[in-house]
Structure 1
Amino acid sequence: MARADTDSADTDSGDRPGTGRSAEADGLRTAGSVAHRLIAAHLVAGRMEPGEEIGLRVDQTLTQDATGTLVMQELEALGLDRVRTEVSVQYVDHNILQADERNAEDHIFLRSGARRFGLWYSKPGNGVSHPTHMQRFGIPGKTLAGSDSHTCAAGSLGMLAVGVGGLEVALAMAGRPLHLRMPHIWGVRLTGELPPYVSAKDVILEMLRRHGVKGAVDRILEYHGPGLASLTAMDRHVIANMGAELGATATVFPADDAVRAFLRAEGREEDFTEITAEPGARYDLDEEIDLSALEPLIARPSSPGNVVPVRDVAGEPVSQAVVGSSANPGLRDFAITAAMVKGRQTAPGVSFDVNPTSREILQDLTRMGATFDLIAAGARIHQAGCLGCIGMGQAPAAGRNSLRTFPRNFPGRSGTEEDAVWLCSPETAAASALTGVITDPREWAAREGVKPPELALPEEAAVNTASLEPPPPPEVASGLPLERGPNISALPALDPLPDALEGPVLLKAGDNVSTDEISPAGAKALPYRSNIPKLAEFTFTRLDPEYPRRAAGTGKGAAHFVVGGDNYGQGSSREHAAITPRHLGLRAVIAKSFARIHWQNLANFGVLALEFDDPGDWDRIAAGDLLRLDGLRTALAPDAAPALRVHNTTRGEDYAVHHRLSPRQRETVLAGGIIPRLAAEAESAAEAESAAEAESAAEAEPAAEAEPPARE
């Protein structure tokens, strides 16, 4: 099994966008699937056996403003002088509306952090991180760790791209390996070609229709087969992006002619390396999709997994239709929308919103004349960024149907508590905007007598790097300060896990609780993303408005529990969903099962994640019950069995539970989190070094006294 060298840790990230060592130099010679080859080429610890913890060398990192402010504070806490990745980029794309001074102050802080630590800085309005990174920095064969769950979109270029918590990204920037459980590789063979008015969004919606929101947990999706030939790199981006909604660790496509064509259009063909599966490559699981048999699909409110054919819900009234987001970011997605509405008017009472995903795509759309067609049809053109996808603008009216080409429709994520958000393709959104009701675009075309549009997309993209600021040289960066506004708090102090935990169940939740429900996005909460004490006031309020007050009422330093159902913590990678409950006293979550990223984030901040041996025990616990765990330091020892017992003092019952923590994660939880663990390790190392120096000096002293006197 090939192992990668690790000298890239010393590579400066200040080269021009898109440069780096070739994939050939990284040793992509291991036989097997594309995913296996990528993992083998970057493996620095562990065995490639499903379920085993592995460590991967990280070539690139991606952070965005909703998570990046914490990452910058974590880099500071780690004592990092300069990032050790090949390329690290800080994007400002989530919270770019400046309703008051707080967002602007955070942007200033992020730019100062990027300059201080050696990251590229993408200015507000430059674009959503995922398509922009793909355009300017993505390189086949590289690994990418991002503090955004949709980082997996870069798998469209033949990269191994993984969304993780911000602290994991900070450690990767510091040159440490990315740790994760070795996933099963799920091969999805594509055949045929997509019919007219059916597009890449319908492919991933079909996967969600078949498997639901936890169907790919602990798996990497790898698409292969003859059907790939008809999918562009940006089509693949759509599919890879929403692998996160299936719970996948990553999604991988081969780097083939479609990827070469994309990089050529971006002026970066020299960054292309062909990476395909070896002949006879085998997968842990197999799936097949006949693209020619697909039809327009739509996810009903309020889950990406609640997928039905558009024809089944046709006629439902529509109040809003939004095109854009990282889930449909390509020029083609906007161009097909413009072509469908050209010369027509959207229906009365429908807000038709167009959310460009990068400055470059907006320029190309305008070069084509498509921007004018959209405006003439009644579109509202917004700035390039995430915006409505995370509830920062474009919030719909309560209870009115909003059709969006976005990746998620969790309750309240739009910024409206009583929302009704549907997820669909650009074709379905455009047809529905024109008719005022949910409409199958094939039926619309048949009624209107419209042939499928023939899109003439430019062969060369309007490359624009003016809003990408490179990091200054190290000798300049080392003297630069971090510019903090008053809304940026310090990271909370994290104390070690006590040997015994006792406290009430402050919240009992059902299945598929999302991180949006634990720590909300939206215009009310997100401006406090850098102010943990203030943001903590929003914790769990979508499930229980009284949770923060009751947590504060348990007393300073008092512990409490949360009980959850299946797939607890699905959705966004934001580590705030672990930090703010911990700040309020949460020390353990007991659930039927966990989503991958949130489970990692809980461990990173010293919260014990436990799973019921018998899921039926969930029914036996009520909110308010007093729970107790004893002997934790023994139970979490490196060689101890992963089994524990929870005692319900209120009911006089015991429940068998278990954890899935690696020895490394057990040490982390016992220490109270990664940062205190590393601080303790550094202190121990310093004490050992000091002791060794003292011993060496003591040994040298007698030797000096034993020397004979000098002759006169």
Structure 2
Amino acid sequence: MPDIAAIAPDSAIRHVETDQGRLSWVSLADYAARAGIALEKLPRSLRIILEAGLCAAARGELDAGAVQAAAAWQPGSPRSADLVFPVTRVILQDAAGLPLLADLAALRDAAAKAGQDPGAMQSVIPFALVVDHSVQIDSYGTSEALQLNLDRELDRNEERYGFLKWAAQAFDGLTLVPPGNGIIHQVHLEQLAEIVSVRNGWISADTVIGSDSHTTMVNGLGVLGWGVGGIEAEGALLGDPLTVAAPEIIGVALTGRPRPGVLATDLALALTRKLRQLGVTGAFLEFHGPGLASLSVEDRATLANMAPEYGATLALFPVDEDVLSYLRTTGRPEAHLSLIRAHLERQGLFGRDGFDAIAYSRHVAFDLGAVGPSVAGPTRPDQLVGLEDVSASFARQFPEPAATARPPVLSHGQIVLAAITSCTNTANPGAMVTAGLLARAAVERGLAVPAGIKTSFAPGSRAVPDYLAQLGLLAPLAALGFHVDAFGCAVCVGNSGPLAPDIEAALAGETVGVAVLSGNRNFEARVHPKIRAAYLMSPALVVAYALAGRIGADLSRAPLGHDAQGRPVLLRDIWPAPEAIAVAMAEMPRQRGRSAPYIPARWNSLPVQSGPRFSWQDGSTFLCPPPFFERHAGAFGALAGARPLLVLGDDITTDHISPVGTISPQMPAARYLASLGIEPDRFGSYAARRVNHEVMLRGTFANPRLRNALVPDRTGPVSRHLPSGETGDLVDIAERYGAEGRAVVILAGRNYGTGSARDWAAKGTALLGVRAVIARSFERIHRSNLVRLGVAPLELVEAVEPATLVAGAKDIAIDITPAEPLGIGSRCTIRLRIDGAAHVLHARLRADTAMEIALLQSGGVFAFFLEHKLGVTPTASVDSPVP
């Protein structure tokens, strides 16, 4: 093979005349011929990354040698270089996008402090922000709920939304989608995804990274992209291409066709369990095979959406005729559809053929016809359960509590929240039509949802109720209590709002209430702080379980209720026949989606600042200047006498590390807000307070179900000071260690950091003074975020359970000695002194790219920005929490 790095990308430049003028593109076939690459064997994801790199190199934005890793990739070959991936755009939601924009505003402040032009800190690629994570379900079950919840959202978030409007005038290329439009990923599919991008006279495949882990939903349209932390997205906006360790790339062959009654949700949950069992963490997946013919584009998007749940980086489907039809349905212009087809055909990226020739790292087969109706729960998305086994799955994890003399307000296993929610499923017309038909049949049989169940319907876009109304299916959903009450994430991200006071009081005991939702995550206490059990399912099954009222009902045989004559009504009696679903789908409007965003009446009247710098307001409890450019941990190196701040078990999620939902009055963050005179009903959520580091620091590890082995008799954000043995709030113990000059670390089990792409899970960890997380294994996005905050992720080599190792210890000290010089996969020796007895463990540093090593040596990305964007030499600060 010739020296790939020596081949000039501009040798493959071609030109084409379009209605947008003369455009340039790089021929992958020509470049491959010069480089001796068998292009037909290269996975499609790598062809897209190669094209992006070649275009950037041809424009002089990237060194030509940077494309070598993508061009030379072979399955099973030793890792030789990092993939360099210059994306064409970035997409954000408000919960992660606001902190990102605040960081950029702080970078402008730092530029001004250094005597430089703050306005020069600009985005070099387009980006969009969709406001979807802030709406809370306060009102429900009425036709007024939608407007009432939107009004309260605007009341609560006026200051935050004003900041967004400042950012829209301050940063080039920012498209702002106001609240009330839907969920980022469905809006992405319907309005924002380009499939093929035209930028500065160049054509290339559309690529994207997003600040939300479920950005992979757009993979269903054939767009290459995935979720990253907002910190990683900041670098991309400022002109730094992504660097990614060369991945395992897996071909997933879909066979068969779904059985009657099986929906895309069932397929996605079954796929999640299978791929978790096989182990695909960090892999690129490419779907192909004859089973594609039986999946709609929206079905593909449902499967791709769940990539974070099965651990993959991306889940790419091909662009084919079905994708073009979907784009036409959502209003894309015909000229752009022609450009998509022409360009992707030229690059060998169009259609379902050619996958047999691709050399994958490994192959996985998934038979669509082997999947039955199912749910996942009660606390993880990969806990797949058939309808007949749901009751047993609940009982195993939440045994019946001891009986009490007083008649309970709430029975064990009673459903207290039923939500049709989430981009995963409300973006799927087949799933929504099925739910509507089932609701209509239930109403016709006289069934009703029992009192005491909070019902919510929060579609991913305004297209959903539009077509349901035209099909006559919106009214029966409303008749069962599922009125449209928001266009946003709502229950799916924990913005469930309050339950009835007597229900919340009952949930404070051992009796466990249950949520059923058509979401994508169900970690304990995520949906609501007091709801411990939650089951994921299709929208139709949400309706069915709401009718049944209890999770213990076996819907394969137990009645959902009784009709007016007292006769039992079974699920199979009202489940819509395939023919009825087909008829309804055929009657769907030909045009779905909106070409322009909805603008709430109050949006344009919100106060807004102008100018290149944001004027931070003293005393604000929402918007505070981020501290990260002032506080850096310094380069990672040897640690002596470090103390464990937390010792945790397996499957610690970013919901455990940085909750997103309501701030409970019992939590340290609530006590801090109360000290400022803020009333409990104005505490809001952690998501809304993400640009207040004082609140977020106190919200780190604030999941009420978190178990720290150092304090085995309590849950939540608590720790024990060693060797004194005194217990207290986590932040107080961390501050005490900092005052003593002690570094702190975290010990954990497997799958540390699963869940959302949540920057504050790493930011809060760093502000607590944590220098390293020592775990059995890490999830991709959180591991990357830790590195970017200067916290070293150390993956244990030995099969040891940290919580078991330190159980009952009165004193623990930890020495960490990394190999020198620091490099990718560096080995570290960890010496634990547990009550005087020495235990030696070994770990490898999970900094997986040369850029990540550079970030750890700089003390994190903010110190790196100062040095490389502003030329300012950062100074390390103390390892203790922000006071």
Aligned partners of 1:65, 1:224: CA distance in 2, in Å? 34
Task: Tell me how far 1:70 sits from its aligned partner.
Answer: 1.5
Output aligned runs, 1:437-456, within 5 Å.
437=550, 444=570, 446-448=572-574, 450-452=576-578, 453-454=580-581, 455=584, 456=587
Question: Residues 519, 646 of structure 1: CA spacing in aligned structure 2 closer, same or farther, 3 A cutoff?
Answer: same
Equivalent position amino acid for 1:40 in 2: L
- CA deviations over 1:256-292 (Å, ceiling 9, x no partner): 1221111001121424435346352232221222222
Equivalent position amino acid for 2:624 in 1: S
SS of the residue 1:571 aligns to? coil
Aligned partners of 1:653, 1:96: CA distance in 2, in Å? 49
Say if 2:521 is the partner of 1:408: yes
Say if 2:358 is the partner of 1:281: yes
Which residue of structure 2 lines up, in the alignment, with residue 205 of structure 1?
A: 269
Aligned partners of 1:199, 1:406: CA distance in 2, in Å? 14
- CA deviations over 1:15-45 (Å, ceiling 9, x no partner): xxxx999999365654333323223222445
Which residue of structure 2 lines up, in the alignment, with residue 25 of structure 1?
A: 25
- CA deviations over 1:512-556 (Å, ceiling 9, x no partner): 100000011102122221111211112113224222221122234
After TM superposition, the structure 1 stretch with the greater mean CA deviation from structure 2, 59-68 or 107-116, is 107-116
Which residue of structure 2 lines up, in the alignment, with residue 538 of structure 1?
A: 699
Aligned partners of 1:321, 1:369: CA distance in 2, in Å? 22
Structure 2 contact 254–287 (Cα < 8 Å) conserved = yes
SS of the residue 2:626 aligns to? coil
Say if 2:100 is the partner of 1:71: yes
Which residue of structure 1 lines up, in the alignment, with residue 614 of structure 2?
A: 482
Output aligned runs, 1:36-55, within 5 Å.
36-43=46-53, 44-45=66-67, 47-48=69-70, 49=73, 52-55=81-84
Say if 2:799 is the partner of 1:673: no
TM-score (norm 2): 0.70
- CA deviations over 1:348-378 (Å, ceiling 9, x no partner): 2344321111123333333333222321233
Question: Residues 94, 637 of structure 1: CA spacing in aligned structure 2 closer, same or farther, 3 A cutoff?
Answer: same
Which residue of structure 1 lines up, in the alignment, with residue 158 of structure 2?
A: 104
Aligned partners of 2:24, 2:592: CA distance in 1, in Å? 27
Which residue of structure 1 lines up, in the alignment, with residue 723 of structure 2?
A: none
Task: Tell me how far 1:482 sits from its aligned partner.
Answer: 3.1
**Identical pairs, percent:** 29
Say if 2:688 is the partner of 1:527: yes
Say if 2:516 is the partner of 1:516: no
Equivalent position amino acid for 1:367 in 2: Q
Equivalent position amino acid for 1:107 in 2: Y
Output aligned runs, 1:109-148, within 5 Å.
109-118=163-172, 119-140=174-195, 141-148=205-212
Structure 1 contact 209–305 (Cα < 8 Å) conserved = yes
Equivalent position amino acid for 2:625 in 1: A
After TM superposition, the structure 1 stretch with the greater mean CA deviation from structure 2, 87-96 or 509-518, is 87-96
Question: Residues 450, 208 of structure 1: CA spacing in aligned structure 2 closer, same or farther, 3 A cutoff?
Answer: closer
Which residue of structure 1 lines up, in the alignment, with residue 213 of structure 2?
A: 149
Aligned partners of 2:326, 2:492: CA distance in 1, in Å? 26
- The answer for unaligned runs of 5 or more in structure 1 is 7-18, 470-476, 688-712
Aligned partners of 1:100, 1:224: CA distance in 2, in Å? 44
Task: Tell me how far 1:231 sits from its aligned partner.
Answer: 1.4
Say if 2:127 is the partner of 1:91: no
Which residue of structure 1 lines up, in the alignment, with residue 449 of structure 2?
A: 347
Structure 1 contact 364–462 (Cα < 8 Å) conserved = no
Which residue of structure 2 lines up, in the alignment, with residue 363 of structure 1?
A: 466
Equivalent position amino acid for 1:566 in 2: R
SS of the residue 2:87 aligns to? coil
Aligned partners of 1:5, 1:416: CA distance in 2, in Å? 54
Structure 1 contact 238–328 (Cα < 8 Å) conserved = yes
Structure 1 contact 205–298 (Cα < 8 Å) conserved = yes
After TM superposition, the structure 1 stretch with the greater mean CA deviation from structure 2, 497-506 or 160-169, is 497-506
Question: Residues 627, 205 of structure 1: CA spacing in aligned structure 2 closer, same or farther, 3 A cutoff?
Answer: same
Match of 2:642 among 498, 503, 512: 503
Aligned partners of 1:5, 1:145: CA distance in 2, in Å? 24
Match of 1:380 among 452, 467, 483: 483
After TM superposition, the structure 1 stretch with the greater mean CA deviation from structure 2, 491-500 or 89-98, is 491-500
Equivalent position amino acid for 2:779 in 1: A
TM-score (norm 1): 0.86
SS of the residue 1:255 aligns to? coil
Aligned partners of 1:541, 1:46: CA distance in 2, in Å? 44
Structure 1 contact 4–41 (Cα < 8 Å) conserved = no
- CA deviations over 1:388-419 (Å, ceiling 9, x no partner): 11111256654222211100001111122342
Say if 2:844 is the partner of 1:658: yes
Equivalent position amino acid for 2:69 in 1: R
Aligned partners of 1:346, 1:363: CA distance in 2, in Å? 24
Output aligned runs, 1:206-245, within 5 Å.
206-212=270-276, 215-245=279-309
Aligned partners of 1:22, 1:239: CA distance in 2, in Å? 38
Say if 2:774 is the partner of 1:615: no
SS of the residue 2:843 aligns to? strand
The aligned length equals 666
Question: Residues 145, 255 of structure 1: CA spacing in aligned structure 2 closer, same or farther, 3 A cutoff?
Answer: same
Question: Residues 624, 360 of structure 1: CA spacing in aligned structure 2 closer, same or farther, 3 A cutoff?
Answer: farther
Aligned partners of 1:283, 1:153: CA distance in 2, in Å? 22
After TM superposition, the structure 1 stretch with the greater mean CA deviation from structure 2, 545-554 or 440-449, is 440-449
After TM superposition, the structure 1 stretch with the greater mean CA deviation from structure 2, 390-399 or 554-563, is 390-399
Aligned partners of 1:22, 1:514: CA distance in 2, in Å? 49
Output aligned runs, 1:639-658, within 5 Å.
642-650=826-834, 651-658=837-844
RMSD: 3.2
Say if 2:377 is the partner of 1:300: yes
Task: Tell me how far 1:319 sits from its aligned partner.
Answer: 3.6
SS of the residue 1:328 aligns to? helix
After TM superposition, the structure 1 stretch with the greater mean CA deviation from structure 2, 448-457 or 567-576, is 448-457
Question: Residues 420, 368 of structure 1: CA spacing in aligned structure 2 closer, same or farther, 3 A cutoff?
Answer: same
Which residue of structure 2 lines up, in the alignment, with residue 703 of structure 1?
A: none
Equivalent position amino acid for 2:655 in 1: D
Structure 1 contact 213–245 (Cα < 8 Å) conserved = no
Say if 2:432 is the partner of 1:334: yes
Equivalent position amino acid for 2:731 in 1: P
Structure 1 contact 496–672 (Cα < 8 Å) conserved = yes
Output aligned runs, 1:172-183, within 5 Å.
172-183=236-247
Aligned partners of 2:371, 2:324: CA distance in 1, in Å? 27
Structure 2 contact 387–556 (Cα < 8 Å) conserved = no
